[in-house]
Each structure stands twice: as structure tokens, then as C-alpha cells.
Amino acid sequence: GVILNNISIGGLNGARAGAAYTASKHAVIGLTKNTAFFYAGDGIRCNGIAPGAVETNIGQSMSNLNEFGMGRAMLGMGLNPRAGQPNEIANLALFLVSDEASFINGAIVVADGGWSAY
């Protein structure tokens, strides 16, 4: 079997979002790696995708935004080469759950167009 967690670049960096979101994404990275190790012998792989900005409607679901927090989190957006498309993340997900990725286990794959490379 394969478990694929959708994490976020926020799980690898500290300033992409608010504290609770960032902490929860860091936790999912730990859970992914722990699960990968503990269940590898049972033929279960566990990986994660850490997307950067993706063109979704996530902003529409946000309310009561903290001006200070948003101002600080948005500072790095100017470094973002572009936002991804949902199908780009879906294609990566399809690869990671396929037999072609059978030796990939415990990995967190960044899909952010180079945003975190700077």
C-alpha cells in the first residue's frame, strides 16, 4: 500500500504561514517519516508532497486574518517564480503512488517551482 500526505512548503520552512499551520505541517512531516520506517517491512510506503503556492480557492475560505501575520508571511511571495496548477500537484501524486516510485519511501517532495531554492 501507499500513503501520500499533502503537506505544504510550510512544513519545511518557518515563515510561510501562521504558527499553528506551520506546526501542524511540521508534524505531518514527522508522521510521514515515522510511518515510512515503521511499515516499510509490511510493504507500505509513505511519502509527502510539499507544494508551494498553488492556484486554488484556499484564500476564499480564510476569514479574520491577522494583519501582522499576513504581512509577515507575504514578504517572501515576491520571490515565488509562479504559482502551480492543481494538475501539476496531481501528476506528482500519481507518480508517487505508482509502481514507478516503488523505492521512494519517507520522502518529502517539494513542488514549488523553485520558490524554496532561493
For each of the domains in the chain, give its residue range(s) and CATH number, in order of start.
2-117 (3.40.50.720)
CB 112 within 8 A of CB 82: no
Catalytic choice (3, 18, 21, 28): 21
Other CB atoms closer than 10 Å to residue 21's CB: what's the count?
Answer: 14
Distance CA 95, CA 89 (A): 10
Q: pLDDT digits over 70-92, tens only? A: 777 776 777 778 889 999 999 99
Q: Is 21 designated active site?
A: yes
**Which pTM value belongs to this model?**
0.86
pLDDT at 84: 94
Task: Output the DSSP codes for the chain.
Answer: -EEEEE--GGGT-SSSS-HHHHHHHHHHHHHHHHHHHHHGGGT-EEEEEEE--B-SSGGGG--S--HHHHHHHGGGGGG---PBPHHHHHHHHHHHTSGGGTT--S-EEEESTTGGG-
- pLDDT band at 64, cuts 50/70/90? confident
Distance CA 4, CA 96 (A): 8
Q: pLDDT digits over 4-60, tens only? A: 999 999 999 887 788 898 999 999 999 999 999 999 999 999 999 999 989 887 767
